[in-house]
Structure 1
Amino acid sequence: MRRVLCAFFAVAAGLTAVAGTATAEPGQRVACPDDKPGYVRCLTSYTPAVRGLADVPSGWGATDLAAAYRLPAGGGADTLVAISIAYDAPNLESDLNTYRAQFGLPACTTANGCFRKVNQRGDATPLPAFQSGWAIESTLDVSMVSAACPSCRILVVEADNPSLENMAATEETAVRLGAKVVSNSYGARETGAALALSKSYTHAGATIVASSGDSGFTAASYPAVLSSVVAVGGTTLTRDEGTARGWSETVWQGSGSGCSAYVAKPRWQKDKNCGKRTVADVAAVAETLALYVTDVGGWITVDGTSASAPFVAGLYGRTGHLGKPGDLYGRTGFFDVVTGNNDPRFNGDKCGGDYLCVAKPGYDAPTGLGTPDGVAAF
């Protein structure tokens, strides 16, 4: 009965909240407008820069993340990690390098061969129009990849607009240009039309990573719901000097989770109360990240699984390993997140206190198998 009820509530939630819609706190702004049918939206909310404070970072930076997730010394492998994004961010390269310099990371520029930006056809020009919210998103993506993998090269593939077809085209272009990891920080509720493009997110020679969504427990988010994609949820990170790790995590309340209405249960998922694909697979920090964006005044703080997905993508880049979501199940190398829920309005009642929206020991949908403990799992 619980399995039926959870499936019912997952579908019902999708009728009132499109999977992937960010839930901004007071004082925050949602970066991207609500998606319309046939389009996706980016999954970021941000606190605007405050006059007099925008010249210094606030929130977790790259050095904090390296400590919290016990990343090894050194930059990692020289892997090409691609960002699938919509619209152009004219200041992307300079903003990325402001971030990297702030946290002691080496420069990543067009001149040194680390950074490249192209349109959805793979050409340097013409680039798409500018859209400020998506520019925040792309800046977050490249910054989080950098935090996880300072030595990775970065390819940014910009779609003309965030239609399902154009975003799928960026995926194909990224792999064609040599990307071994592709990060997708956007989502839309899964539909038959969206799933018809699933082949663009299935590549034998590349790891595909996507944000699980920012609306908590609701209808599953596409493309994270695809069984070929590593779906990444979000956590709230806190310093905790009383533990051996020195940090603790709980479920970020916006972390997307849900049961697919279409995608068959992968053989590697063994959870009981979702008859089809369950989102998410793993998680990482998704709240209070420091980010430098010229277009909104300098240093801001951002939230969203748009941060956690590119961070995990960067970990795959750091190891240089090819990864599929099923490879993660049964592996060690995760911090188990056992507190919090992503159904704050009902305190977990929407799923009956079930693992689909409440953190539990072992696998739970908001944080999957847990968060990275080093890079062993990737």
Structure 2
Amino acid sequence: MRTTPTDSAAGRRRWRRIGSAVTATAALLLTGLATAAHADTARASAPQVTWTRSCALPRHQGEMACNALRVTGGRTAFQQQHGISAKAADATSPSGYGPADLRAAYGLTSASANNGTGRTIAIVDAYDDPNAESDLAAYRSHYGLPACTTANGCFKKVGQTGSTTSLPAPNSGWAAEISLDLDMAGAVCPNCHITLVEAKSATMTNLGTAVNEAVALGAKYVSNSYGGGESSADATYDSTYFNHPGVAITVSAGDAGYGAEYPAASKYVTAVGGTRLTTSSTTRGWTESVWSTSSTEGTGSGCSAYDSKPAWQTDTGCARRTIADVSAVADPATGVSVYDTYGADGQGWATYGGTSASAPIIASVYALAGTPSSGSYPAAFPYANTSALNDVTSGSNGTCATSYFCTARTGYDGPTGWGTPQGLGAFTG
């Protein structure tokens, strides 16, 4: 059964850049509503859920949208597996995967003896979430994770210039994104410190400034769960905001199906695709396929129109940067539990998906793996140890002339990269 969004027609348009000659704004006009699901056996058995986007779509070139998708109805895989009835209006208990599930699925249960002690993950988002710290506390308390507060020095919230008092205006959609990102960071790396850097708006310029601030504050792992259309300015953005050797920077591949987005297309970042994650009778105990609902709903992937190919990427079908590098769970139907109380949609527990979930998961795996060596580009690490990843070999996120850009296969492919974490081996220098 296909997963169905509940947005308005405008909200369901694909907004990514379509080809090198189409701007992000034009892309909004050229895309359509979701139609039929792909003939993919794994997805055909997916639970039926409905979901909605958390953030407004970008209206202009250089604007970004967050990739958080909130489940609004139906039964998630977690509910089915645990015999829980669908409770679309009940926000009093979790209905998606929690920390134990994620750590088990990705071989992280005993992957790091210190669980990230002494390491700091930065979360970069736009606008302010006034309830960020209290919501994070509620999530961590429920799952028995160590407290992470301003008072104990674990949590810090700043604006894009580093101020703890001069923060941007609040925004309920981006607040949901912030809650998702913070919760995933804690779920995967429970002892990591977390720095939330809030950009004053959702432009690439302001979000990029926030990335620079995160690095300046000492974070060696920086998660970015947003994206927009590619443009000729991307090479400048690359050198200005994302060229930070010795820092693992992860970026969501996008939620609009096949097609390249920025900053996932940056040659300096780890582009993170999305999967559908379910339990199975295999030795691993879990199975994954490409997350895709239709040709316009699913993990992003593709061949960049502007960004040059990094030296460590060797696929031959794309002369420029290919998206993605690695992947993690993103399908809302197999989504993660999040606690959010800010704004009209923030009423407590909810289930979220989108590559907004997979980007902070991968950033946290990098944090568990240890500090990248000075001068290194951590995006290259998975390419050096592909056997330490779960190869995702089924599913497709659209139609493309070069099949591996949009269809999973053995080895490297666009939607899932080299695969999903199997412990920490693929994320060390």
Fold match by TM threshold 0.5: yes
Higher relative contact order (CA closer than 8 Å, sequence separation 6+)? 1
Determine the structure 1 residue equivalent to 2:426: 377
Q: 2:96 aligns with which of 59, 73, 76?
A: 59
Structure 2: distance between partners of 1:116 and 1:70: 29
Aligned 1:172-183 pairs, distance under 5 A: 172-183=212-223
Determine the structure 1 residue equivalent to 2:52: 29
CA deviation profile, 1:248-294 (whole Å, cap 9, x unmatched)? 00001111101011112222222121121100000001121111111
- Judge conservation of contact 2:136–2:183 (CA < 8 Å) in 1: yes
- Judge conservation of contact 2:253–2:261 (CA < 8 Å) in 1: yes
Q: What amino acid is aligned across from residue 167 of structure 1 in structure 2?
A: L
TM-score by length of 1: 0.90
Aligned 1:34-45 pairs, distance under 5 A: 34-36=57-59, 37-45=61-69
Any idea what SS the aligned residue of 1:307 has? helix
Structure 2: distance between partners of 1:352 and 1:157: 39
TM-score by length of 2: 0.80
Determine the structure 2 residue equivalent to 1:329: 383
Q: 1:47 aligns with which of 71, 74, 77?
A: 71
Gaps of 5+ in 1: 1-8, 344-349
Q: 1:294 aligns with which of 341, 365, 375?
A: 341
1:210 aligns to 2:251 (yes or no)? yes
Kindly tell me the number of residue pairs found equivalent between the two proteins: 362
Aligned 1:207-356 pairs, distance under 5 A: 207-218=248-259, 220-240=260-280, 242-253=281-292, 254-287=298-331, 288-295=335-342, 296-322=346-372, 323-331=377-385, 332-343=387-398, 350-352=399-401, 354-356=403-405
Structure 1: distance between partners of 2:34 and 2:328: 18
- Judge conservation of contact 1:335–1:373 (CA < 8 Å) in 2: yes
Any idea what SS the aligned residue of 1:196 has? helix
Q: What amino acid is aligned across from residue 39 of structure 1 in structure 2?
A: E
**Which segments of structure 1 move beyond 6 Å, counting only runs of 4 or more?**
21-26
1:145 aligns to 2:195 (yes or no)? no
Structure 2: distance between partners of 1:320 and 1:271: 28
CA deviation profile, 1:222-265 (whole Å, cap 9, x unmatched)? 1111111000000010010x200010000011111010111122
Structure 2: distance between partners of 1:77 and 1:369: 28
CA RMSD between the two structures: 2.4
Aligned 1:95-134 pairs, distance under 5 A: 95-134=135-174
* Alpha carbons of structure 1 residues 281 and 292: separation in structure 2 relative to 1, 3 Å: same
- Judge conservation of contact 2:317–2:402 (CA < 8 Å) in 1: no
Any idea what SS the aligned residue of 2:123 has? strand
- Name whichever of 64-73 and 86-95 sits farther off: 64-73
Q: What amino acid is aligned across from residue 237 of structure 2 in structure 1?
A: L
Q: 2:211 aligns with which of 167, 171, 178?
A: 171
Any idea what SS the aligned residue of 1:189 has? coil
Q: What amino acid is aligned across from residue 355 of structure 1 in structure 2?
A: Y
Gaps of 5+ in 2: 1-17, 36-47, 74-86, 293-297
- Name whichever of 117-126 and 312-321 sits farther off: 312-321
- Name whichever of 315-324 and 284-293 sits farther off: 315-324
Any idea what SS the aligned residue of 2:381 has? helix
* Alpha carbons of structure 1 residues 174 and 257: separation in structure 2 relative to 1, 3 Å: same
Any idea what SS the aligned residue of 1:256 has? strand
* Alpha carbons of structure 1 residues 88 and 203: separation in structure 2 relative to 1, 3 Å: same
Determine the structure 2 residue equivalent to 1:94: 134
Any idea what SS the aligned residue of 1:67 has? helix
User: C-alpha displacement at 1:164, in angstroms?
Assistant: 1.4
Report percent identity of matched pairs: 45
User: C-alpha displacement at 1:318, in angstroms?
Assistant: 1.3
